[in-house]
Amino acid sequence: MCALADGSFYNNIWKFRSHLRSPLQSIPQVCQPTGPTKDVTCMCLLSTRTEPPAFRDTNSNNSPSYSDSVAARVLSGSAYNSDTQTEEACASYCGTKGFKYAGVEYGVECYCGNALTSALGAEADCAMTCGGNANELCGGPNRLNVFENTATSVTTPTTTPVPANTAVAVAGWTAGGCYTDTVAARSLPQGVPVAGNAPMTIELCLTACQSAGYTIAGVEYASQCYCGNAFANGGALAPDGNAQCNMPCDGNAAETCGGPDRLNVFFYGSSNTGTGTTTAPPATTPLPTSSAVPVTGWTAGGCYTDTVAARSLPQGVPVAGNAAMTIELCLAACQAAGYKIAGVEYASQCYCGNAFANGGALAPDGNAQCNMPCDGNKAETCGGPDRLNVFFYSGSGSTSGTGTGTGTTTAPPTNTQAAGSGTATKLPTGWSYKGCWVDNNQGRIMNGPQADLTTMTIESCIATCVAAGYAIAGLQYSSQCFCDNLLKNSATLAAVDTMCSTPCAGSSAEICGGGNLDSVYAARDIEVIGPAAPQKTGLPGLWQYKGCLMDQDPKSLPEKIVYTGTNTGNKCLKACSDYGYNAAGMEYGEECYCGDKSDPSKVGAKLVPEADCSTPCPGDARYLCGAGNRLSYYEWVGAPIQNYGFPQGAAAGEYVLLGKAPVIALITTQGLNGKVTFVEKSGTSTTPGSTGAYEWDPSTNTFRTMHVKTDVFCSAGLVLPDKVGRQINIGGWSGDSTYGIRLYWPDGSPGNPSVNDWQENYQELALQNGRWYPSAMVMANGSILVVGGENGSNGPPVPTLELLPRAGGTLYMEWLQRTDPYNLYPFLAVLPSGGIFVAYYNEAIILDENTFATQKKLPNIPGAVNNPLGGRTYPLEGTMVLLPQHAPYTDPLGVLICGGSTPYGGYAIDNCVSTVPEAANPTWTIEKMPSKRVMSCICALPDGTYLILNGAHVGVAGFGLASDPNHNALLYDPTKPINSRISIMANTTIDRFYHSEAILLQDGRVLVTGSDPETDGLQQEYRIEAFIPPYLKTGRPVPSYTITDKDWKYGDTVTVTVTLPSGGVPKFSLMGAESSTHGNSMGQRTIFPAFTCTGNSCTITAPPNAHVAPPGWHQLFLLEGGVPSKSQYVRIGGDPGNLGAWPKLSDFNVPGSG
């Protein structure tokens, strides 16, 4: 039912006769009712499909579609073609003409009628999307989706056919009646364009035929003109009289221009017999098989098998004068063409060759099916359906060809066009004419059309194909141009080259094919391929073809990629395996689907007959790429692409509820005092009375109230390398807050009260550019780099860098301008070789640390399998961490990015990617996660592993923009082989959406906080949890150490005293002090330093320089058997930027230099 603009509903009275498409999702469509003229809008409802107005499904049991053919139309009333065809448009057209049935075919064709003349065909055969709506199906090759008009009264279309033998408006011509015709075997052989390619009228067609020297003319299908001097292929007066000559001429609706497979015929002068038929040829004596025939040198050979798809004799030829078929005429034609084997078939067809092909042999049932009288002599037998009466030439006379007749297939006679007969005079270098080729016998032989122009010439078509990257061009029916790199569907040359005789629309001196005939030009030898088959060899990796798999909603494989015009099996399979999927399939030709082997069984998908997968791959027509609702299905059969770990019990870790926080933190930062600061969006807080800042003491599980003056919503945070480890907060939500710089000096200790608070005065200390969603990083020289953001809430981009303390002005960065708004909270890192790594949206670069010019651009970061434009920074929001650095630090630094989403669709990404930016030619390695994740958090753990947690399966970051929480934690272990690094850990029961955070505590637990969706049905989450990693659940005692020197210079050696309760081997790790916000852990770094131990005394060697370990504070952990001690903070590299003396302002306390 369609909702009308006035609020009422339009009740559809057309319903489906056969409906095969899977249910559509909610997609707006336009309804075109055949009733009162009103503006209407249809919505395809979930699990339903839109029905064309006024039609109903004629097959209430959901049976398959209707078979159709050019030789015998199911619907033989009115018809038209449109590149923008839809079910609704066709139904409306047929409805307005009063027909009972409407049918859509081959994507663009519409047929009408009042009776159905065919049985139902296979459901999967109706697999072609409509030209005007890719969400609808418009039949297939020789297949109709049919609709029935259920209106109470259906009128018969009224046209006034031209009476036979009446005068017409062109002198010398008389009407001859309504004649039969078929596309496959034309009654009048020459299709011609009319003057100026004007809309068709009878007068224009008669004039065109008379000018071309023909004495018989016929108009067909409202717009087509055919000429000849005799009827061919059994063309005769239609058995139903004028009934199906019923289509008004395109150029004059008062005239009738034939119909589907019907010609209104006209005779010039003496060619008119007065009856509309030609005189039959004289009768001959029927030929018994295997007996002599009355053509010298030929003997009968018996009844042979044949198929349309693979001919036993490859060359179909016309007979002299295109007369009605007799054996004598066929033998003479084959002999004249140089062949030694001839065969007559289906009463009217003649085929020739020098050897049998495609398994042609004597029929197993003898002469039983060679049973059709010849059209030109009913006393003779001319084969039958898929049967040839065969004859061999063995006389002393010679044929004009060079066939050997020895049982091997030889090339057919070469077709050429004589100079001046219609070829182009100037072809591009390397291009030449390749002959007249038959099209559409078993399907299209070339892609296209690329163009359909009234100015078409050979040169313009070739130019079009060259520009599109093709090496073969084909011209058809005066104005059509096709391009390809091979000829498909067992294409064959026409019997004689002059069958391509239609002048080009743009140059009457050139020939542009004919009806279903291509004038072919090429810059290479012509390669002809047979009907497509499943690809089973030459596959990438360890893929194996499994069969034709049914598809439906929900899809058998969930991840869809569309490769318009380029899809191949190899392209699809490689994409799927590159992204970690072990099941793949191609559908509808251009669609590629990826998934896991278990996916088809989840939706009940089964293998179906191979014939159901019948659509060639557009990028390689030799092979099949499924069909409508059918997948050419493949599985990876070798070693698994992705191996997940499935730890059980304590080895999976555990979530533990700690209590409630007073606010939902935007940023969490652990201080040197062992406490964690929570800052939140004070001005837009949903918490009554919030001050915007609090401090949590994990030893007492209590909160202390703190204060900020401006709104820190979506700011950046760091722990400074000054001697007290002050925390800095940068930027904010709007107005003055975007310029905000806030500082906190941590004091107190676990269990002992803290007193200090955040200090801020934006009138004294402010950024040069206001920033919302910036990132910050301590550089190797100790300065603070501030990058990017927007000018307040959803404001314009701020595509600049600046330094703190202020040093000069800001620097414009083109890459920040160009990729806004997908580059917010960019990921930053100091590289061991010098330079600054930046990842933003789906790009990554290395900046010079002095000039900030781009030194190196990395390949784009891979996104989702179905969208390479997937991004990793806010608002598409994944998370980046630095992989561990190990002494002696000779290996380049690795980066790991997990999760994210795609623009517009919010299709969350299900992979992690990693690279080594400093490599000469860095590449990204993709590792598939077991589920999709956006708004992820990653916490680096002291044993060198990484906890991946929080986020959603669907959406992007922001308020109300994501759904379906991801409760599952993962553990990533970089010491394991690629694709074996991810283990599936414990689940939480608490949703962690936007503004959820995760940081490492000093006791090795992970603090998990927040969820701020501000969405109906989703909870504002104040509960806080700890994730207990498996190293704390082994039951082994925790090691410990004592240290006095906590301020290390680069390369220093520092002595610690260790206690190893299990007597194991010690190991040390340094974890950079960090602030966590929006999946960005600013300051994170994992370092395993060199050390030596004698007894319980160990000497640690500090990292060598500021590029391996930028100046700052680190948690030092002692590990024994993977179990970490409680950490203590140590400073590495001092305070080279003298941040301890900054800012020298009255409102700020500073710890001083050093």
Confirm if 562 and 656 have CB atoms less than 8 A apart: no
For residue 935, is pLDDT > 60? yes
Question: Which of the four pLDDT bands, split at 50, 70 and 90, describes residue 33?
Answer: very low
- Comparing CA positions, the residue from 1084, 1080, 1079, 1082 lying closest to residue 1069 is 1084
Q: Give pLDDT, residue 310.
A: 83
What 3-state class would DSSP assign to 458? helix
Most confident among 194-198, 231-235, 689-693 (mean pLDDT): 689-693
What's the rounded Cα separation, in Å, for the pair 513 and 517?
5
Shared-domain flag, residues 934 and 1023: yes
Mean pLDDT of the chain, nearest integer: 86
Q: Does residue 1099 form part of some domain?
A: yes
Report residue 425's pLDDT band, with 50, 70 and 90 as the boundaries: low
Phi and psi torsions of 27, nearest 5° = -135, 125
Please say if the pLDDT value at position 156 is more than 70: no
pLDDT at 1070: 99
Whether 725 is in a domain gets the answer yes
Residues 940 and 1050 both lie in one domain:
no
Beta bridge partners of 656: 1026
**How far is Cα 716 from Cα 828, in angstroms, rounded to an integer?**
12
Q: List Cβ neighbours of 613 (8 Å cut-off, separation of 6 or more).
A: 534, 548, 624, 626, 627, 630, 631, 632
Mean pLDDT to the nearest integer, 564-583: 97
C-alpha to C-alpha distance for 975 and 979, rounded to whole angstroms: 11
Report the distance separating Cα 584 and Cα 462, nearest Å.
37
* Whether 480 and 587 share a structural domain: no
User: 647 and 1021 in contact (C-beta within 8 Å)?
Assistant: no
Mean pLDDT, range 936-942, rounded to an integer? 99
The confidence band for 21, taking pLDDT boundaries of 50, 70 and 90, is: very low
Nearest CA to 743 among 724, 792, 809, 698? 724
63 bridge partner residues: none
Distance CA 584, CA 631 (A): 9
Instruction: Show the 3-state SS of 860-881.
Output: CCCCECCECCCECCECCCCEEE
CA distance 696 to 685: 19
Contact 819, 797 (CB under 8 A): no
| Same-domain status, 321 and 470 | no
φ, ψ dihedrals at 748, nearest 5° = 75, -170
Q: Which two tokens stand for residue 606?
A: 């089964």
The CA-to-CA distance between both ends of the chain, in Å, stands at: 78
Q: Is the pLDDT of residue 420 over 50?
A: no
Question: When comparing pLDDT for 378 and 1100, which is higher?
Answer: 1100
CATH number of the domain residue 936 falls in:
2.130.10.80
Helix (H, G, I), strand (E, B) or coil at 209: helix
Task: Return the higher-pLDDT residue of 80 and 712.
Answer: 712
Q: Report yes or no on 1144 lying in a domain.
A: no
Residue 534 forms part of a structural domain: no
Sole residue written with tokens 């003409």: 97
| 878 in any annotated domain | yes
Q: How confident is the model at residue 1034 (pLDDT cuts 50, 70, 90)?
A: very high
133 phi and psi, to 5 degrees?
-160, 105
- Indicate if 818 and 681 belong to the same structural domain: yes
Dihedral sign, Cα of residue 206, residue 210, residue 211, residue 217: positive
Contacts of 1029 (CB under 8 A, 6+ apart): 653, 941, 943, 945, 947, 971, 1004, 1005, 1006
Q: What CA–CA distance (Å, rounded) separates 215 from 231?
A: 11
Distance CA 865, CA 25 (A): 22
Are 1027 and 1044 members of one domain? Answer: no
Chain centroid to CA 332: 54
Please compute the mean of the pLDDT values over residues 234-247 and round it to a whole number. 88
Is there a contact between 462 and 472 (Cβ–Cβ < 8 Å)? no
Strand pairing class (843-847; 854-857): antiparallel
| Mean pLDDT across 792-813 | 95
Of the candidates 102, 22, 117, the residue with the CA atom closest to the CA atom of residue 54: 102
pLDDT above 90 for 1052? yes
Q: What distance in Å separates the CA atoms of residue 42 and residue 30, rounded to the nearest whole number?
A: 6
pLDDT tens figures, 584-637: 999 999 999 999 999 999 999 999 999 999 999 999 989 999 999 999 999 999
Same domain, 752 and 855: yes
Burial of 154: CB neighbours in 10 Å, binned 0-12, 13-18, 19+: middle
Q: In this structure, are 328 and 457 located in the same domain?
A: no
Is there a cis peptide before residue 888, judged by omega within 30 degrees of 0?
yes
Structural domain for 553, as ranges: 543-636
Quick one: tokens of 501?
């005789």
Residue 487: pLDDT above 80?
A: yes
Report the b/e string of 936-968 with b at 16+ CB within 10 A: bbbbbbbbbbbbbbbbbbbbbbbeebbbebbbb
Please report, for residues 110, 219, 755, the alpha-carbon distance to residue 77 in angstroms, rounded to integers and kept in the order given. 10, 16, 91
Q: Can you tell me the distance from the alpha carbon of 202 to that of 170, in angstroms, rounded to the nearest whole number?
A: 9
Of 1112, 1050, 1006, 1002, the closest CA to residue 728 belongs to 1112
Residues 6+ apart with CB under 8 A from 83: 108, 131, 132
Average pLDDT over residues 269-292: 38
927 vs 857: CA distance, rounded Å: 22
Alpha helices by DSSP H, 778-839: 814-819
Interatomic CA distance for residues 634 and 576, integer angstroms: 11
Domain identity same for 747 and 874:
yes
Choose the final residue of a domain: 371, 393, 415. 393
Whose CA is closest to 1084, among 922, 983, 942?
Answer: 942
What confidence category does residue 496 fall into, taking pLDDT thresholds of 50, 70 and 90?
confident
Length of the chain: 1154
**CB neighbours of 967 closer than 8 A, spacing ≥ 6?**
987, 988, 989, 990, 991
**Segment 1067-1090, tens digit of pLDDT:** 999 999 999 999 899 999 999 999
Region 856-878: what's the mean pLDDT? 96
User: Distance between CA atoms of 72 and 58, rounded to whole angstroms?
Assistant: 20
pLDDT reported for residue 152: 39
Phi, psi of 15 (to 5 degrees): -135, 160
Asked, as a colleague might, if the bond just before 554 is cis with ω within 30 of 0, I would say yes
| pLDDT at residue 55 greater than cutoff 70 | no
In a domain? residue 944: yes
What mean pLDDT comes out for the span 427-431? 93
- Which pLDDT score is estimated for 490? 86
Name the DSSP class of 193: P
User: Do 326 and 381 share a structural domain?
Assistant: yes
**Does a structural domain hold residue 410?**
no
Contact status, residue 840 vs residue 788, Cβ threshold 8 Å: yes
Nearest alpha carbon to residue 797 among 782, 785, 814: 814
CA neighbor of 741 nearest in space, from 684, 688, 798, 802:
802
Do 734 and 701 reside in the same domain of the chain?
Answer: yes
Confidence of residue 419 (pLDDT cuts 50, 70, 90): very low
Using the 3D structure, point to which of 342, 373, 393 is the last residue of a domain. 393
Q: Is the pLDDT of residue 1099 over 90?
A: yes
425 Cβ neighbours under 8 A, 6+ residues apart:
none
Q: What is the pLDDT of residue 314?
A: 87
Across 161-205, the runs of DSSP E, i.e. the strands, are 173-180, 190-191
Structural domain tally of the chain?
7
Give dist(CA 444, CA 615) in Å, integer.
12
| String of DSSP letters for 711-752 | --TT-EEEE--STT--EEEE--SSGGGGGBEEEE---SBTTB
Give the span between the Cα atoms of 973 and 813, in whole angstroms.
35
Asked whether the beta carbons of 787 and 797 are under 8 A apart, the reply is no
- Examine residue 285 and state whether it is found in any structural domain, yes or no: no
C-alpha–C-alpha distance, residues 906 and 864, integer Å: 11
Q: Please tell me whether residues 610 and 482 are part of one structural domain.
A: no
**Phi, psi for 1113 (deg, rounded to 5):** -95, 145
Of 18, 49, 50, 52, whose CA–CA distance to 35 is shortest?
52
State whether residue 612 is helix, strand or coil. Answer: helix
Question: What is the percent of the chain with per-residue pLDDT over 90, rounded to a whole number?
Answer: 62
State the Cα–Cα distance between residues 353 and 358, nearest whole angstrom. Answer: 12
> pLDDT of 964-1020, one tens digit each?
999 999 999 999 999 999 999 999 999 999 999 999 999 999 999 999 999 889 999
CA angle (97 as vertex; 91, 99 as ends), nearest 5: 65
Cβ-based neighbour number of residue 445 at 10 Å:
27
